[in-house]
C-alpha cells in the first residue's frame, strides 16, 4: 500500500496502487514454481521407474539362467535313469538272476506248451 496526500495536503489517503502488480508477480512465480515442481517430480518418477524396470530385467535374467541350469541337470539325470531302466530290463540280466539267485533252469522243449 502506498501513502498519498490529496491536493490540500491535510488528508492521508491509503491506496492500493502497486499491490496488484505484486500479486500478479507472486501468482506467476507460484505458478512457475508449481509447474517446475511437477516436472521435477515427473522426471524423478520416470527415472525411478526406468531403474526399477532394468533391475527387474536383470533379476529375471538370473532366474532364467538358474532355471536353465536346473533343466540341464534334470535332463542329464533323466538320461542316466533311462540307461538304468534299459540295463535292468535286459534279458541277459533277468536270465542271470533267475538262474543264479532263484535257481531256475531253462525249460526242456517237451515242457513248453504253445497257446494260440
Count structural domains, the chain: 1
The reply to whether 114 falls in a domain is no
2: which 3 cell numbers? 502506498
3-state class (DSSP) for residue 105: coil
* Nearest-10 crossing angle of helices 91-100, 19-89: 50
Residue whose C-alpha cell is 516436472: 39
Residue whose C-alpha cell is 500479486: 23
Tell me the average pLDDT across 65-85: 98
pLDDT band, residue 4 (cuts 50/70/90):
low
pLDDT digits (tens, 9 = 90+) for 9-64: 555 555 555 555 566 667 778 888 999 999 999 999 999 999 999 999 999 999 99
Please state, in angstroms and as integers, the Cα–Cα distance from residue 2 to each residue in 5, 9, 17, 26, 60, following that order.
Answer: 10, 15, 7, 18, 68
The reply to whether 19 falls in a domain is yes
More confident position, 4 or 81:
81
3-state class (DSSP) for residue 51: helix
The reply to whether 115 falls in a domain is no
The reply to whether 87 falls in a domain is yes
Domain limits for position 86: 2-105
Amino acid at each position: 500500500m502506498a501513502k498519498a496526500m490529496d491536493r490540500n495536503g491535510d488528508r492521508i489517503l491509503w491506496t492500493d496502487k502497486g499491490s496488484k502488480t505484486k500479486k500478479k508477480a507472486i501468482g506467476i512465480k507460484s505458478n512457475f514454481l508449481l509447474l517446475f515442481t511437477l516436472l521435477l517430480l515427473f522426471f524423478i518418477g520416470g527415472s525411478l521407474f526406468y531403474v526399477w524396470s532394468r533391475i527387474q530385467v536383470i533379476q529375471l535374467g538370473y532366474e532364467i539362467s538358474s532355471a536353465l541350469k536346473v533343466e540341464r541337470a534334470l535332463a542329464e539325470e533323466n538320461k542316466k535313469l533311462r540307461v538304468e531302466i534299459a540295463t535292468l530290463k535286459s534279458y541277459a540280466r533277468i536270465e542271470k538272476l533267475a538262474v543264479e539267485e532263484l535257481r531256475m533252469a531253462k525249460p526242456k522243449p517237451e515242457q513248453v506248451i504253445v497257446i494260440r
